[in-house]
Structure 1
Amino acid sequence: MLKSLLIANRGEIACRIIRTARAMGVRTVAVYSDADAKALHVRSADEAVHIGPSPARESYLVGEKIIAAAKQTGAEAIHPGYGFLSENAEFAQSVIDAGLIWVGPKPDSIRAMGLKDAAKKLMDAAGVPTTPGYLGDNQDPDFLAEQAAAIGYPVLIKAVAGGGGKGMRKVDAPADFADALVSCKREAAASFGNDVVLLEKWIESPRHIEVQVFGDSHGNVVHLFERDCSLQRRHQKVIEEAPAPGMDAATRAAVCGAAVRAAKAVDYEGAGTIEFIADGSQGLRADRIWFMEMNARLQVEHPVTEEITGVDLVEWQLRVASGEPIPLRQEELSINGWAMEARLYAEDPAKGFLPSTGRLEHLVFGEADRVETGVEQGGAVSPFYDPMIAKIVCHGETRSDAISALAHAVSETEVWPVRTNAGFLVRALWSDSFVEADLDTGFIANAGDALIPPSEPEDALFEVAARLVHDSTEPVHNAGFRLNTVPVHRVTLASGGETRTVDVAMIGDQIVSVGDDAADYYLPENTDAAVVTGHIQGDQAILFADGTAYAFDIAARGSGHAAAGSGSILSPMPGKVIAVDVTAGQSVTKGQKLLTLEAMKMEHSLVAPFDGVVAELNASEGAQVQVDALLVRIEAAE
């Protein structure tokens, strides 16, 4: 067994590798750029070496610097993780030529699977089913158009050196082919330095099925069953699960057997993934599942395979790299339960999933079987690298158990002020189609805005935020009272361009105990959220409704009293009435704007607390009002 290991990566995968290496007694060396000087993986390793400026092309992608760091620290081996240099055959060869151990497949195996056209030809020869299409050398546009017509539209143009959704174009009709080909080749040349393309039949109901394979230097190859990675957004995986729903034993044997043949065809060593595309229109069938490509590395979603098999794939990698055989035979591997993984990204779904970077002032993960992360509270999400904050992984006896566990774990996740896709993930997990396993790679695109949480808080969250402010500032036993009234605490909050004053009644179980800096709240019946948590941060109340963050500016905190349910709308601060939207005697509904007050250089909309009638109106446009002045009184509807 090797004694020391340099991890040529960063973030959560570096932390993941360090964790297993430490458990095996292997000394670890981290590398880091300027941006990662205080990163978690740097502090987790036994030793760390600075390798350059923040941009990856000047640090993590410079093979010479990484090899020099290994030599400098006496590391015996280099583990590339995934991304960066993990599938770079030239770098792998350089590591070997430097007298170091490469924790990964042989360079020739990487090369064999690196170009999609060559890989598909190799798979055809090995008896692995491939997607109908054209993968020849003739790149003449007219010839390719003829091949597309022969395959039948729609077709997919795909760069042979592509990945990550780049260099791919779906073409629906012959008239669109020429322009799509030019665009695809241009993108492929810019992204990969290679504009050669292949053509594939477009699968109308595609599911992304991949099989985890593992080989050693003794000629052994096993599979560790399949994963379903069909939930993707713009070709990037979002939620993965193992095993694949709807996969029967016969189909599993056929697909996993094909994956093993694929790995043996390239004399594969170490962890790898054979990716298949399935036509799911008639369920998963062996004759409608085709080889797509091979990833000659550990995959981001490998934890779901570990959860259902009980295998530590990184441990296997280190053992096989040390010359040991695979620890288990095929017949010793089995599926136990169901596992799911959600990728928590620093991005804002409400703004087109734009990346959200900055300091993680508040970071709390929900209860999960495992959370793979490379950041911590007080750290930062850098603009230089992938915006993934964590992988949240849950295991259950059944698929339903795994969905429920993962949805709750993501719902309880709190990140602020960096925005995340947590609320988006929760909605995807609980959507009827996902729960019923009616899914394909177009699932997210077809769902559209239904999976995107509202950018502004719903009405009920103002009430919850007010309770949080009340509980955090005024103990119950200190509250005053008045004969024949219920004591309340008025809290004025501003969020989403709207300001409301909420009377918080301290009765029954409306007030829930609070910890030092966070609280769980029971919600009013009219909210859509299942889990709401929150904390006070400076002059803001931050709520997380099913993982989506909403900030409420605490405009004013009062300790006066009013009759519970009286509907008295008091001025939260001195100001000027600039608009009155109701008249005396008018019927109003909960949340309806009553008037607008200008104060503190801001406009504050005051709204009806419940359905009712305007029983009293003491405000007129242009009037100056003082704090606590009664502006409107609403009587509840019969």
Structure 2
Amino acid sequence: MIASLLIANRGEIACRIIRTARSLGIRTIAVHSDADATALHVRLADEAVPIGPSPARESYLVGDRILAAARDTAAEAIHPGYGFLSENADFAAAVIAAGLIWVGPHPDSIRAMGLKDAAKARMIAAGVPVTPGYLGEDQSADRLAAEADAIGYPVLIKAVAGGGGKGMRRVDDATDFADALGSCRREAASSFGDDRVLIEKYILSPRHIEVQVFGDTHGNIVHLFERDCSLQRRHQKVIEEAPAPGMDPITRAAVCDAAVKAARAVDYVGAGTIEFIADTSAGLSADRIWFMEMNTRLQVEHPVTEAITGQDLVEWQLRVASGEPLPMTQDDLAIDGHAIEARLYAEDPAKGFLPSIGRLDVFDLGTSVRIDTGVEQGAEVSPFYDPMIAKLIAHAATREEARETLADALDEAVIWPVRTNAGFLVEALDHADFIAGTVDTGLIAREGEGLMPPVLPSDEALADAAASLAGEGGFRLNAAPRWQGWFRLDDQPIEIDFADGAAESVEDDHILIAEGGQVWELARWRVDGAAAGGAADGAILAPMPGRIIAVDVVEGQGVAPGQKLVTLEAMKMEHALVAPFAGTVAALSASTGGQVTEGALLVRIDRSAD
């Protein structure tokens, strides 16, 4: 067994690898950028080495720095995780040339599957069914347009060296082909340094089916059954599950056998995934499932395969890299129950899924499901890396039990103030098509706003939170006000009505409302006129932005406790600010018709001498 392992990655996959390596008695070495100096994977490892500035291109993607770290720490092997350098054949070759063990496939296998056109040609030769399309060397615009016409629209233009949805365009009509081709080529050149493309028939009701394969150095190759990764947003997987819904034994045998053929065609060693596209317009059938590509690494969604097979795939990787045969034969492997994984991203669905960064003041995902994460409460989510902060994996005897368990776990997640897609994931899991197991890759694009989580908490959740802030029994919605209180729900003011006397029980400044995977902060902003103007030092401040519609005092005037001083109009309502105690108007800066900002000094009262 390998004695020491350097993990050339970060985040949840680095933590995941460290846990398994430690269980096998392997010394672990982490690498980290400046941004990750105090990250969880750094603290979990036995040793850690800085490798450069925060941007990945200056640290995690610099192979020479990782090799230097391995030499300096006497590491015996390097595990690349996924992403970064995991499918870089030149880096894999450099690791091997340095006398280190590469925990992954041979560089030749990576190269063979790295270019989509060459990989498909190899698959055709191996007897693996391939999506109808054009893989030719002639890359002229005229030839590509002619091939698209011959295939029949819609077609998909894909970068030969692509991945992650980049360099990919759907084209529905010949008149749009030239523009789409140009856009695809520019993106491919920018992302991969290679603007070559291939053309595929676009499947109108596609499902993304993939098969986990594993090979060793003794010539053994097995599959660990299939996964369904059809729920995608902009070609990025969102929710994955195993086994695939609706997969009958005959179709499963066909697709899994094809995956093993594909792996054998490149003498594959280690963990890999053969990805297929299925035309489900007439149901899931073996004669309508075609090879798309191979990922020559461990996949983000590998935990669902681990759950249904009871195997640790990272342990398999380390044993195979150590020269051991596969831990199990094909006949030993079986499916147990159903597993579903959701990718939790630090992003805000309400703002177009823009990444959300900052400190995780609250990070509570509960204990009801498996959690793979690279962060913890108090950690910083930086702008430099992929926004995925955790994966939640539910395993149960049935698909519906797994779905409900995962939805409940996401529903109860509390993360603040960083925004996440947890509410969006809850909506997706509760969608009728997902419940029925009939999701195709276009669901999210079709549904759009229909999958967006609520913008506001329910009245019931808001009531409970406000009651907690204002004291038991004082809160009521949709009733005639006897006492009014202003709060801030995130950054928006909200007025809540209370019964008489509730003001005196207000103690806490804020409370978090967690519902359906969403989190809001309800904060005590200012309460009625007495509280808003009732500072102990006599400073009467504007409780919110608004317009002064009345000034009832002048400088030097004596006032009694509760006497009206200024009336402010805000949120289409009038708010009277009153004197907190007996005294004299020492300063007056409010004027009728003037606009004021929150916190602006309006009146100062000097307390009368006792």
Distance 1:191 1:573, change over 3 A: same
Listed one character per residue, the Cα deviations across residues 467-512 of structure 1 (whole Å, up to 9, x for unaligned) are 23246xxxx7xx99xxxxxxx9986422263422343799xxxxxx
Of 139-148 and 318-327, the range deviating more from structure 2: 139-148
Deviation string, structure 1 residues 365-409 (Cα, Å, up to 9, x no partner): 033331000000000111000011100111111110010000001
1:540 partnered with 2:510: yes
Looking at structure 2, the residues matched to 599 and 75 of structure 1 have their Cα atoms a distance apart, in angstroms, of 73
> Do the aligned partners of 1:573 and 1:599 also contact (CA within 8 Å) in 2?
no
Give the structure 1 partner of residue 359 of structure 2.
359
Secondary structure of residue in 1 paired with 2:441: coil
- Offset at 1:464? 1.9
1:547 CA drift (Å): 1.3
Matched, 1:553 2:523: yes
Distance in 2 of aligned mates of 1:303 and 1:542? 31
* Aligned residue in 2 for 1:529: none
Change (3 A) 1:571 1:336: farther
Structure 2 residue aligned with 1:190: 190
Partner of 1:592: none
Q: CA distance change for structure 1 residues 218 and 115 in 2, over 3 Å: closer, same or farther?
A: same
Match of 1:631 in 2: none
Shift of 1:438: 2.1
For residue 217 of structure 1, what is the aligned residue in structure 2? Answer: 217
Going from structure 1 to structure 2, the CA distance change for 1:371 and 1:601 (only over 3 Å counts) comes to farther
- Is the CA contact 1:578–1:598 (under 8 Å) kept in the aligned structure 2? no
Residue 555 of structure 1 deviates from its aligned partner by 2.1
Compared CA separation, residues 622 and 16, structure 1 to 2 (3 A): closer
Distance 1:505 1:87, change over 3 A: farther
C-alpha distance in structure 2 between counterparts of 1:3 and 1:71, whole Å: 14
Superposed CA RMSD in Å reads 2.7
Which amino acid in structure 2 is aligned with residue 100 of structure 1? L
* Offset, 1:461: 3.4
Give the aligned partner of residue 348 of structure 1. Answer: 348
For 1:263 and 1:318, locate their aligned partners in 2 and report how far apart those are by CA, in whole Å. 19
2:371–2:391 CA contact under 8 A, matched in 1: yes
Q: Report how many residues are paired.
A: 546
Q: What residue ranges of structure 1 are gaps of 5+ in the alignment?
A: 481-487, 507-535, 559-569, 581-596, 607-620, 628-638
Deviation, 1:208, is 0.5
Give 1:403's aligned residue. 403
CA deviations on 1:114-155 (whole Å, 9 max, x unpaired) are 000000000001110000000010111111111111100011
Partner of 1:265: 265
Output the amino acid matched with 2:27: R
**Inter-CA distance 504–552: structure 2 relative to 1 (3 Å threshold):** farther
Q: 1:152-200 deviations in whole A, cap 9, x for unaligned?
A: 0011111100011111111111111111111111111111011111000
Give the whole-Å Cα distance in 2 for the aligned partners of 1:458 and 1:363.
22
- For 1:459 and 1:120, the matched residues in 2 are separated by 55
Q: Is the 8 A contact 1:155 1:170 kept in 2?
A: yes
Aligned to 1:445: 445
One-letter amino acid of the structure 1 residue matched with residue 495 of structure 2? R
The CA distance in 2 between the partners of 1:538 and 1:216, in whole Å, is: 60
* Structure 1 stretch displaced more, 459-468 or 46-55: 459-468
Q: CA deviation at 1:452?
A: 1.0
**Aligned-residue offset at 1:221:** 0.3
CA 68–463 in structure 1, closer or farther in 2 if over 3 Å, else same: same
4+ residue runs of structure 1 moved beyond 6 angstroms?
A: 575-580, 597-602
Measured against aligned partners, the alpha-carbon deviations of 1:59-96 in whole angstroms (never above 9, x if no partner) come to 10011111111111111000000000000000000000
**Cα separation, 2, equivalents of 1:625 and 1:350:** 39
Say if 1:366 and 1:411, in contact at 8 Å, map to a contact too.
Answer: no
CA shift in 2, pair 1:274/1:557, >3 Å: same
Shift of 1:360: 0.5
Secondary structure of the residue aligned to 1:36 is: coil
Superposition pairs for residues 277-288 of structure 1, below 5 Å?
Answer: 277-288=277-288
| Partner Cα distance (1:424, 1:22) in 2 | 35
Q: Tell me the amino acid that sits aligned with residue 539 of structure 1.
A: D
Q: SS state of the match for residue 35, structure 1?
A: coil
Whether 2:495 is the aligned partner of 1:500: answer yes
Superposed, 1:285-300 pairs within 5 Å as: 285-300=285-300
Conservation of the 8 A alpha-carbon contact between 1:470 and 1:491? no
CA contact (8 A) 1:462 1:502 kept: no
Paired position in structure 2 for 1:253: 253
CA distance in 2, matches of 1:231, 1:504: 48
**Residue in 1 that maps onto 2:538:** none
Aligned in 2, Cα 1:372/1:537: closer, same or farther, shift over 3 Å? farther
Asked if 1:69 is matched to 2:75, the reply is no
Contact kept, 8 Å, 1:470 with 1:504, in 2: the verdict is: no
Whole-angstrom distance in 2 between the partners of 1:603 and 1:189: 53
1:46-67 CA distances to partner (integer Å, 9 max, x unpaired)?
Answer: 0000101001111100111111
Query: What does residue 612 of structure 1 align with?
Result: none
Q: Secondary structure at the match of 2:35?
A: helix
Q: Tell me the CA shift for residue 602 of structure 1.
A: 8.9
In structure 1, distance between residues paired with 2:368 and 2:575: 55
Q: 1:444 is paired with a residue of what secondary structure?
A: helix
Task: Name the residue aligned to 1:26.
Answer: 26
Does residue 603 of structure 1 match 2:570? yes
**Where does residue 533 of structure 1 map in the other structure?**
none
In 2, the alpha carbon distance for the partners of 1:489 and 1:3 equals: 70
Q: Which residue of 2 aligns with 1:386?
A: 386
Q: Distance in 1 between matches of 2:42 and 2:140?
A: 50
Please give the alpha-carbon distance, in whole angstroms, between the structure 1 residues aligned to 2:421 and 2:103: 33
Kindly provide the amino acid, as one letter, of the partner of residue 368 in structure 1: S
Contact 2:185–2:196, Cα closer than 8 Å, also in 1: yes
Q: Which amino acid aligns with 1:548?
A: Q
What amino acid maps onto 1:119 in structure 2?
A
Q: Which amino acid aligns with 1:228?
A: D
- TM-score (normalised: structure 2): 0.85
**Which whole-Å CA distance do the structure 1 matches of 2:64 and 2:363 have between them?**
36
Distance 1:244 1:149 in 2: 33
Contact 1:466 1:491 in 2 (8 A): no
Q: Which amino acid aligns with 2:112?
A: A
Post-superposition Cα deviations, 1:10-67, rounded to whole Å, max 9, x if no partner, equal 0000000000000000000000000000000000000000101001111100111111
**Alpha carbons 1:213, 1:271 under 8 Å: kept:** yes
CA contact under 8 A between 2:469 and 2:507: conserved in structure 1? no
Hey, what does 2:177 align to over in structure 1?
177
Tell me the distance in 1 between the aligned counterparts of 2:290 and 2:511: 51
Query: Which amino acid counterpart does residue 514 of structure 2 have in structure 1?
Result: F
Write out aligned runs for 1:117-136 (5 A): 117-136=117-136
1:601 is displaced (CA, Å) by: 8.6
Aligned to 1:151: 151
CA, structure 1 residues 259+601, in 2 after alignment: closer, same or farther (shift >3 Å)? farther
The answer (yes or no) to whether the contact 1:368–1:392 under 8 Å persists in 2 is no
The answer to whether the Cα contact below 8 Å between 2:568 and 2:576 also exists between their aligned partners in 1 is: no
Instruction: After TM superposition, list the pairs within 5 Å mapping 1:37-186 onto structure 2.
Output: 37-186=37-186
**SS of 2:277's equivalent?**
strand
Residues 106, 545 of structure 1: CA spacing in aligned structure 2 closer, same or farther, 3 A cutoff? same
Offset from partner CA, 1:577-620 (integer Å, 9 cap, x none): 9699xxxxxxxxxxxxxxxx9999993567xxxxxxxxxxxxxx
Distance in 1, Cα, partners of 2:148 & 2:455: 43
- Contact 1:498–1:605 (CA<8 Å) still a contact in 2? no
TM-score normalised to structure 1 length: 0.81
Partner AA of 2:492 in structure 1? G
Q: Give the aligned partner of residue 524 of structure 1.
A: none
CA distance in 1, matches of 2:247, 2:404: 21
8 Å Cα contact 1:366-1:410 kept in structure 2: no
CA distance in 2, matches of 1:494, 1:213: 52
Q: Deviations over 1:339-371 (max 9, x none)?
A: 000001000000000000011111100333310
- Specify every segment of 5 or more residues in structure 2 that has no aligned partner in the other structure, as ranges: 475-481, 534-541, 550-563, 581-610
**Which letter maps to 1:3?**
A
1: CA distance, partners of 2:566 / 2:327: 70
